[in-house]
Structure 1
Amino acid sequence: MLFRQHILERIASGEVTLAFRRWKRQPIRGGARLRTARGEVIFGSVQEVDEGSLTEDDAIKAGYGSLAELTDDLQSGEDRNLYRMEIVGLEEDGRIALREDDGLSAEEAGLLAKSFDRWDRANSAPNYHRRILDAIAATPEVSAAALARSLAVDKVKLKRDIRKLKEFGLTKSMSVGYRLSPRGEALLGMISEKGQ
């Protein structure tokens, strides 16, 4: 589910408090959070509704100028149901605060190392995730394709694996390529000190 940038800005200001989408099956539940370029959109109630029940007020709360504008924008399809989602707010992406936290404890580093070991075993590639961090540290802001070539791995796979590292606050995406976050740098320093 995507939101246009101008709608995200209006969610942040509290102007937009509803969203409507047609789906074959409901992917968002009440209480869910959706990461966006502006932060995490937080949803309240999500319910299936009949298009005939929509009002001009619904359209305005969803960021449209009129009901006609809203209904014209809805994806059509006989096998799709219409859902009304209450938007409770927009909060900063929790990964941003996490990646700036370079006060990594030995316990946290140990848990990350266990995750790396588990992923590496699943990939049958010892030290694979450590090598990704090393490569990003050595060559920040190079394209994913160049990074994939240097690691002799498929670009799509590499991007997926870097997303896992990003979830733990270890990397950040740049306009081109990636950089280690302060948290990622701290982890790499701790691993290096242990001679791993």
Structure 2
Amino acid sequence: MLFRREVLEGIAGGRIDRVFRVWGKPPVRSGSTQRTWAGIIVIDSVTAVSPEEITEEDALRSGFDDRAALLTALSKSTKEGGYHRVMLHLGPDPRAELAANADLTDQELADLKTSLDAVDTRSRRGPWTREVLRLIEEHPGLRALDLAERLGRDKLPFKADVRRLKALGLTESLETGYRLSPRGEALMAYLRSLTE
């Protein structure tokens, strides 16, 4: 499912707990999850509804000003099928728990180093992981565009690289920019100790 930015912001802020879609057959089901930039979206239920079953509260809790605005938006869908109410919430992101863990054994730190080495070895442009981690460490909260420019890179590929580091629990996204997670800080200290 695709979500507009303002919808994801509403879900993350707790203002939105449902969305409506026009589907022939729903592509999601209760219990499924979807990773987004705002976190993990958990689907609680998917219910076919008639226009009469859509309430004013449905409209407000899906980010619309009123029921009429929601029904107008649904009527403009180019997809064929019926209306569906999707109840959802922002679930825990397993990467957050991973990122918060800075109490790593020497073996875990060595394994993380090996993971970075493997990413660098497979990269077509050569090693980049430590350079990006160092840049984020030195400039927490700096916009992705500014970080990318410091490396002479385009923003979108740079952000994709940061997501790879986040998947390892090494970085955290801020409202603007990034910072090293506690796990990332522990790894950087370990990497520095290897060169001393």
Q: Please report the TM-score for the alignment, with normalisation by the length of structure 2.
A: 0.72
> Could you list the per-position Cα deviations for residues 17-51 of structure 1 after superposition, in whole angstroms to 9, with x for gaps in the alignment?
x431236985534322245677533113446x4x6
With over 3 angstroms needed to count, the CA separation of the structure-2 counterparts of 1:26 and 1:129, relative to structure 1, is: farther
Distance 1:75 1:186 in 2: 52
Q: SS state of the match for residue 133, structure 1?
A: helix
Q: Give 1:148's aligned residue.
A: 148
Is this contact kept in 1: 2:58–2:67, CA < 8 A? no
Unaligned runs of 5+ in 2: none
Distance 1:38 1:151 in 2: 26
Q: Give 2:133's aligned residue.
A: 133
Q: Please report the TM-score for the alignment, with normalisation by the length of structure 1.
A: 0.72
How many residues get paired? 188
Is this contact kept in 1: 2:141–2:174, CA < 8 A? yes
Shift of 1:95: 2.9
> Could you list the per-position Cα deviations for residues 103-150 of structure 1 after superposition, in whole angstroms to 9, with x for gaps in the alignment?
123343344333323322332344311111011112333332332233
Q: Give 1:169's aligned residue.
A: 169
Shift of 1:89: 4.2
Distance 1:89 1:175 in 2: 20
Unaligned runs of 5+ in 1: none
Q: SS state of the match for residue 28, structure 2?
A: coil
With over 3 angstroms needed to count, the CA separation of the structure-2 counterparts of 1:177 and 1:67, relative to structure 1, is: closer
Structure 1 segment 33-182 matched on structure 2, within 5 A:
33-35=33-35, 40-46=40-46, 49=48, 53-56=50-53, 60-61=57-58, 63=61, 67-74=67-74, 76-82=76-82, 84-87=84-87, 89-182=89-182
Determine if the alignment matches structure 1 residue 9 to structure 2 residue 14: yes
Q: SS state of the match for residue 21, structure 1?
A: strand
Give the fraction of aligned pairs with identical amino acids, expressed as a percent. 32
Shift of 1:195: 3.0
Instruction: State the AA in 2 paired with 1:153.
Output: R
With over 3 angstroms needed to count, the CA separation of the structure-2 counterparts of 1:192 and 1:65, relative to structure 1, is: closer
With over 3 angstroms needed to count, the CA separation of the structure-2 counterparts of 1:141 and 1:176, relative to structure 1, is: same
